[in-house]
Amino acid sequence: MDGNGRWAQKRGLPRVAGHRAGVETVRRMVRACAKAGVKALTLYAFSADNWKRPLDETGFLMNLLARFLRREIAELDRNRVRLRTIGNTAGLPAFARRELKRGIEKTARNQGLVLTLALNYSARQEILDGARRMAADLSRNGRGHAPNHRDVRLDAARHRGQIHRDDFRKYLSTSFLPDPDLIIRTSGEMRLSDFLLWQGAYAELWFTPVLWPDFKEQHLAQALREFARRSRRFGGVAEQEASLV
């Protein structure tokens, strides 16, 4: 969700005005995705590197997150949206953690759209943390101890180096989600910026110059139409190409 600051600067406004406008886009996109039948929407709300920004801006963003949750959880619950998070949320201010906990608990039984907020998130750190947890489990299993609460069955053959990538996937913070089919980035930047690097290995990418506060339902529809036209081969060949081999 990129371009909030630039949106504000173009209008002679402080950067925080762009973040405030960006929240309105979040509201619209959650509704639009649910209406379109999207099963899971993950929003890169605050990266681990965003702490490098000025203190007043990061403080505003944390307060904005808490206000958004207080105001929107009732509607999310009515619409059967389930709230989840990924990232090091322990590093967020206590008031933000409280609102997240309340929202997650209130929507825990909902069966509609899964709305995941990536907060204090870094894909590289997520992979590193997952590798550490798997290594710890391998060590415990190798000494004859039972698997931990993740209940990952790492047998002796895998311990000798035959671990499948699906085994490792269970150690990622997104283990409750399918891999993303489509990753959208606004504002004209053409990079992933440490977002879902493992999970997005075969995601379709769609970049747009539209700044996040200006991103509307028609832009989402355009992205979904483009996605529907693409041929996803996952390293293989299309059926028509295969028939020629």
Among residues 49, 50, 137, 155, which one is catalytic? 50
**Helix locations, 79-188, DSSP H:** 94-106, 123-142, 156-159, 165-169
CA distance 5 to 2: 8
Return d(Cα 84, Cα 107) in angstroms, integer: 9
End-to-end CA gap in the chain: 42
Catalytic residue among 2, 4, 120, 141: 2
* Catalytic site includes residue 50: yes
2 among known catalytic residues? yes
Residue with tokens 């899964």: 114
**Tokens read off for 14:** 């402080």
Q: Are strands 182-185 and 114-121 parallel, antiparallel or unpaired?
A: unpaired
Sign of the alpha-carbon dihedral angle for 8, 9, 12, 14: positive
Nearest to residue 83, comparing CAs of 107, 66, 62? 107
Nearest by Cα to 231 from 242, 219, 245, 217:
242
Catalytic site positions: 2, 50
